[in-house]
Amino acid sequence: MPSRSGRVLALHRPLWFVWDPAGIVIALFAWVLVFGLLVAVLTSISQWVGLLSLMGLTEGVWFTGLFGMCLWCHVVVLTSNPGTVPFKLKGLPPVEAEDQSDDEVEEIEEEMPLNEYEECEDDGSLLIYCDECEIYRPTRATHCHTCERCIVLQDHHCPWVNNCVGIGNQKAFLLMLLYVTATSVQAALLVLMQYAMCSRGKYTCGLQNDQFPGKLGGWILAAAAVFGIFCSLMLTMELYNIYQDPLFTLIADQIAARRGGDKSTSRLERHLSVICGTDGMRASWVFPPPERRALHDMEIVQGFRCRPDDKYYVHMAAKRARFFLYEGMSGTASMSTNFSSLSNFDFAGVHENMLDDMFCV
């Protein structure tokens, strides 16, 4: 599902890549830093106790595993669709200026004043028109000018992963912050342990030349401090915002009502379950690949009845959208429409040819 602008490439339906030169350079720089830290840690272990010793082998395997998880999470965030609203979720533009007088346009724009729109609860039934994408999108979606798409539950656009962070990859992003923090803490503890134990060996303790851990240990300690502090603070802010966001509460309540309850024991666990796509905490939370969600759960989360990897369902949803927009909004187009009312229409006899171009991709 490539972007019309050519900036976004989907190599395969689950995969995604943003062709942003600055983001690509920053993401590659992040890999250079991570691999540099890994080489420095393994070199330090080799100089300390030797990589083939029991302690050295244990430390080396542990660090390599943590670094591997960091890179795995980074790749998943970078190549995952963050939750884009399909381009073909189209309808009539909200205002046809050439067909209406100024008075009529004013009357239409007053149908939903800004203060009422801001106070409107996002229950997944309200769609608004995006002038950039020229599509209708749920209010929980935000347009990203770098990805040039509307992203469902967008958190932010992160240049370090060259992608938006949204409902499609936020789980992997949180895990990346967690694993980078854990790796940084472990690297710092390694250097401090080397410094504390060096007096028992043949080295002079210190962070200078001819000392141990030496300048290499000082570089590891500095890098671990920078990465660890930055990622731990960002992880804390992310979890706090997720905990406080009432939209996650609403979505969790709707999913629980459909399932007949949920297994979460806390508010944060419920909100994280929405992001991770599970009913309560599971062992799969520690791995970055997203869970496969039930179709109805996905509809609740994304706020529209359209799934790009289900062509039959997509076509039926497209029929509903086009029929409603032609029949329910003729002459009175507005900046929003209630999508939940689409299920009240009978689509028998709707002309197929008029809807052939209405696939969500």
- Mean pLDDT, rounded, of the chain: 75
CA dihedral 160, 162, 165, 170 (to 10 degrees): -70
pTM attached to this predicted model:
0.74
- pLDDT tens digits, residue range 3-29? 443 344 333 345 688 989 999 999 999
- In 3D space, the residue among 149, 183, 153 whose CA is nearest the CA of residue 169 turns out to be 153
> What percentage of the chain's residues is helix, strand, coil (to nearest 5)?
55, 10, 35
Q: Looking at residue 304, what is its pLDDT?
A: 79
Q: Which residue has the higher pLDDT, 24 or 263?
A: 24
Question: Which two tokens mark 227?
Answer: 């990465």
Q: Is the pLDDT of residue 86 over 70?
A: yes
Q: Looking at residue 353, what is its pLDDT?
A: 33
Q: Looking at residue 290, what is its pLDDT?
A: 86
Domain locations in the chain as residue ranges: 8-83+168-244
Q: 44 falls in which pLDDT band (50, 70, 90)?
A: confident
Q: Looking at residue 203, what is its pLDDT?
A: 58
Contacts within 8 Å (CB) and 24+ apart, 137-146: 137/85, 137/89, 137/304, 138/85, 138/302, 138/303, 138/304, 138/339, 139/303, 139/336, 140/247, 140/303, 141/83, 141/85, 141/303, 146/18, 146/20, 146/23
CB-CB neighbours of 224 under 10 Å: 23
- pLDDT tens digits, residue range 212-237? 667 788 888 889 999 999 999 999 99
Average pLDDT over residues 162-179: 95
User: Residue 279 carries which DSSP code?
Assistant: S
Q: Is the pLDDT of residue 334 over 60?
A: no
Q: Which residue has the higher pLDDT, 351 or 79?
A: 79
Q: Is 18 helix (H, G, I), strand (E, B) or coil?
A: strand
Tell me which residue has tokens 């009357």.
107
Using omega within 30 degrees of 0 as the cis cutoff, is the peptide bond preceding 159 cis? no
Q: Which residue has the higher pLDDT, 103 or 230?
A: 230
